[in-house]
Structure 1
Amino acid sequence: MYRVMIVEDDLNISELLSTHIEKYGYEVTIAEDFEDILSLFKKSKPHIVLMDVNLPMFDGYYWCRKIRQISTCPIIFISARLGEMDQVMAIESGADDYITKPFYYDVVKAKIKGQLRRAYGSYAPNAEERILEVEGLSLYPERLELCFNDECVTLTKKESILADLLLSKHPKAVSREMMLSKLWDDESFVEENTLNVNIARLRKKFEDLNIKNAVETVRGLGYRLNISWRE
């Protein structure tokens, strides 16, 4: 079931949209706390976002840019702003489409269906989002997100690559050479301490999820995912 997140401060519009969209089998989350849309996005993990421009605190362009830092999830703006520059700003902020109010529900439904098809369906390069799971730990490489016990942290690209190696190779150890080759095109020009720094940062992300000693050092070889949290 595809998940839709609605970010609209007019509750009547949000509820009407939600009611119509749910008829077609979508799961809908409506934003209520407009101070931290990004946290709701991380928690609900939507496949697509419907975003208004005029919002309390920060506008839709701001939240669109924030989401784009961690996800390629389709974003459709639905706004009463009719100006050309408003639509240009939406696209430049990372939006995939722009619908003006008042709108027809069938048009919204068709736009949602089209974006989902491009992102995850028959027109997508990969129909399904890649997820790596080990003992309750989930890595979303495309989203740069690591989750455990309903909590998620955002990773950098290099942290995500390292986490990907550790989870995909588990229970085997991953050599330093393999990690370096995945992180950099030519590891001969990388200082020895550079990998250590990135490993330390990844360990900190695990600690943010209340997982200690998740990355185990294997002397003379490299690193291994330690799943002692299940004990």
Structure 2
Amino acid sequence: MYKIMVIEDDKKLQELIKNHLEKYGYETCIVEDFSQIKKEFINHSPHLVLMDINLPYYDGFYWCRDIRTVSKVPIIFISARGSDMDQVMAIENGGDDYITKPFSYDLLIVKIKGVIRRVYGEYSENNHNEVYEVDGLYMHVHQNIIEYSGRKTELSSKEFLLLYSLLKSVNQIVSREELLEILWNDIDFVDDNTLSVNITRLRKRLEEIGIDDAIETKRGQGYKMVSNWSR
């Protein structure tokens, strides 16, 4: 079942769209906090977004660009603004399609089906889940980039694997043996020194984006990532 996020501040229209989508078998999620749309998008991880342009705080063009920093999920704009320039801006800001209000729900469903076929069809790469987030620390999975409070840095593949493993077990000890197994491949020789060096480098990368003392060494056991950076 495909999940569709509806970003529409008109409560009546929001509910009508939601009910119509669910009637056709789509799962829906609704944005509750219009000042945190990117965060809600990441938390819900939808397959497609329906985005109004006139929204509280920032307009839909802004949020489309913001979502594009973390995902290639298709975005269809729905707006009462029907000028050619608005439609051009929607595409240039990362949108995939545009529907002018008022619209027929049959047209909406056809547009959604067409985009889903194109993006998630047999010959398409389904890479919508591209971001992992813990307490405001974002991991851009296909870019080896981490982001916190607007600051970004790029990790090596080994650093990225280590961080991902530690974050999956945040506030818990991950054994050295488990981390060594994660780093192991058929090309590179991996030992305790390799692990220690990469942990040191990872700590420096985290410091670059404002996260200090997040990885604790547990002697004789392994390492623990402590989620104290958001306090």
How does the TM-score come out when normalised to structure 2?
A: 0.66
CA distance in structure 1 between the partners assigned to 2:156 and 2:71 by the alignment = 13
CA distance in structure 2 between the partners assigned to 1:160 and 1:79 by the alignment = 42
Q: Which amino acid aligns with 1:165?
A: L
CA distance in structure 2 between the partners assigned to 1:110 and 1:11 by the alignment = 23
Task: Quote how far apart the aligned CAs of 1:3 are.
Answer: 1.3
Task: Quote how far apart the aligned CAs of 1:153 are.
Answer: 3.0
Q: Find out whether 1:93 has 2:93 as its counterpart.
A: yes
CA distance in structure 2 between the partners assigned to 1:20 and 1:128 by the alignment = 26
Question: Matches of residues 50-199 of structure 1 in structure 2 within 5 Å?
Answer: 50-125=50-125, 127=126, 142-143=130-131, 145-147=132-134, 153-155=137-139, 157=145, 158-159=154-155, 161-162=157-158, 164-166=160-162, 170-172=178-180, 174=183, 197-198=204-205
Task: Quote how far apart the aligned CAs of 1:128 are.
Answer: 6.2
CA distance in structure 2 between the partners assigned to 1:12 and 1:206 by the alignment = 48
CA distance in structure 2 between the partners assigned to 1:81 and 1:13 by the alignment = 16
Which residue of 2 is the match for residue 183 of structure 1?
A: none
Which residue of 2 is the match for residue 190 of structure 1?
A: none
SS of equivalent residue, structure 1 residue 172: helix
| Native 8 Å contact 1:163 1:202 kept in 2 | no
Identity of aligned residues (%): 44
| Native 8 Å contact 1:42 1:152 kept in 2 | no
How does the TM-score come out when normalised to structure 1?
A: 0.66
SS of equivalent residue, structure 1 residue 53: coil
Question: Matches of residues 16-27 of structure 1 in structure 2 within 5 Å?
Answer: 16-27=16-27
Task: Quote how far apart the aligned CAs of 1:92 are.
Answer: 1.0
RMSD: 3.6
CA distance in structure 2 between the partners assigned to 1:202 and 1:160 by the alignment = 15
CA distance in structure 2 between the partners assigned to 1:116 and 1:98 by the alignment = 15
Which residue of 2 is the match for residue 187 of structure 1?
A: none
CA distance in structure 2 between the partners assigned to 1:120 and 1:57 by the alignment = 32
Which residue of 1 is the match for residue 38 of structure 2?
A: 38
Alignment CA distance shift 1:162-1:47 (3 Å): farther
CA distance in structure 1 between the partners assigned to 2:10 and 2:27 by the alignment = 19
Q: Deviations over 1:148-196 (max 9, x none)?
A: xxx5631352348446533589542538x96xxxxxxxxxxxxxx9776
Any stretches of 5+ residues in structure 2 without a counterpart? 146-153, 166-176, 189-199, 227-231
Task: Quote how far apart the aligned CAs of 1:27 are.
Answer: 1.4
CA distance in structure 2 between the partners assigned to 1:92 and 1:56 by the alignment = 21
| Native 8 Å contact 2:159 2:202 kept in 1 | no
Q: Deviations over 1:57-97 (max 9, x none)?
A: 11100111111111111110001111111011111111111
CA distance in structure 1 between the partners assigned to 2:25 and 2:213 by the alignment = 35
Any stretches of 5+ residues in structure 1 without a counterpart? 130-139, 179-192, 218-224
Count of residues paired in the alignment: 187
Q: Deviations over 1:84-118 (max 9, x none)?
A: 11011111111111111111112211222222222
